[in-house]
Amino acid sequence: MRSVFFPRLVNGPFDDPALYVHLANRGEALLFDCGDLHALSTREMLKLRAVFISHGHIDHVVGFDALLRAFLCQDAELLVCGPPGLADQITGRLSGYTWNLVEGYRFTLIVREWGESGGRQVRFRAGNAFLPEEEGLRGCPEGLLYETVACRVRGVPLEHGGIVSLAFVLEEPLHVAIHKDALERWGYLPGPWLTRFKDQLRLREHEVLIEVSLVDGGSATVELAELADRIAHCERGMKICYVTDAAPTDANLERIAGLAANAHFLVIEAVFSHQELERARQRSHLTAQLAGELARRAGVARLLVFHHSPRYLDSPGLLEAEARQAFEGED
């Protein structure tokens, strides 16, 4: 399968959490957690369409102001999703600045919070000095926080020292693979029309006509279903799971394993060594061994651990090795 999501940690495994995911062929990106963002360029930030914050601890939201600064003068809308209470926390951050010269600014921030008891949405418009505009309750069936034709993001609440920390899964609803040899055989010229073709195929509008660019110039109009038979096949979409700040309880481990089931890529915290399991319980974090065991149990293809405690800076490879052994070890 050719990747359609290109994830990377913004910072190192001992630094603030932030996972940047570029969406192929769209000029768009998503961000999971909002720690220190100085490593991202303004151009990279402006590609963001949605940000998913696990919880309100400072190392997970300290980069919000950098995002706000990048978007402030843009005619754009940015969605920020997180657990209950996030809208009030964002209100507090926005109220810490003076907004007397923003009349006519068109940037809009939408905060969508969700937990097991329901969802809430609040709008903040730059031109209205970012005063909160309550939009009421919002349904997020099965934790569905964000959905486009190309991807969807669901959240699952985990317990973290008495507060909710959301874990997230990013999924491609349907993967459409293009056969290059078929393009050549039919004389089709690759181009932006292929993205439109994939989107229409995901929408299952098979009677739609697609304008196809031709190698020898010009274009042809082909019905979607016929075009799909000629040049493509469909398979299960790509899946990335992001998990951080979760107490090592049986309930949390069960939820994480279910969320990450058969994921192509699991990005998960490994804060402590398993030798310090009792400390991990006290601090409501996972150990590296538990992270690896969860990845193995869930049947994920690739594992990336992060959010290491600075206690291990003198042995920086220890947690990675512990997680890898648990993930790849024999039965």
**pLDDT score recorded for residue 199:** 87
Residue 303 pLDDT:
98
Are 207 and 225 spatial neighbours (Cβ–Cβ below 8 Å)? yes
- Non-local (6+) Cβ contacts of 184 within 8 A are none
Verify that 14 and 130 share a domain, yes or no.
yes
Is 313 exposed, middle or buried, given 0-12, 13-18 or 19+ CB atoms closer than 10 A? exposed
pLDDT at 142 (0 to 100): 85
Other beta carbons within 10 angstroms of residue 311's beta carbon come to 14
Decide: 244 and 165 in contact? Cβ < 8 Å: yes
Helix (H, G, I), strand (E, B) or coil at 38: coil
* R_g of the chain, CA atoms, integer Å: 22
Q: What is the pLDDT of residue 201?
A: 86
| Predicted local distance difference test score (pLDDT) of residue 141 | 87
Per-residue pLDDT at 206: 66
Query: Does one domain contain both 124 and 272?
Result: yes
Residues 226 and 242 in one domain: no
pLDDT for the residue 140: 84
Q: Are both 48 and 193 inside the same structural domain?
A: no
Which residues of the chain are modeled with pLDDT < 50?
331
Q: Which of 235, 251, 284 is the last residue of a domain?
A: 235
Asked if 158 and 257 sit in the same domain, the reply is yes
Residues 151 and 297 in one domain: yes
- Cβ-Cβ contacts under 8 Å for 248 (sequence gap 6 or more): 277, 280, 281, 284, 285, 286, 287, 290
Residue 97's CATH number: 3.60.15.10
Number of structural domains in the chain: 2
From residue 182, alpha-carbon distances to 1, 160, 216, 227, 231 in Å are 17, 51, 16, 10, 5
The pLDDT of residue 136 is 78
| 183 and 149 fall within a common domain | no
Instruction: Judge if 50 and 198 occupy the same domain.
Output: no
What per-residue confidence (pLDDT) applies to 272? 98
Of 235, 254, 281, the domain-final residue: 235
pLDDT tens digit string along 9-63? 999 999 999 999 999 888 999 999 999 999 999 999 999 999 999 999 999 999 9
List of E strands, the chain: 5-9, 19-23, 28-32, 48-52, 77-82, 108-115, 118-125, 132-137, 144-147, 152-160, 163-171, 175-178, 209-213, 219-223, 232-235, 239-243, 265-269, 302-306
Assess whether 160 and 300 both reside in one domain. Answer: yes
Domain that holds residue 57: 5-173+237-328
Question: Do 314 and 208 have their domain in common?
Answer: no
251 and 218 inside one domain: no
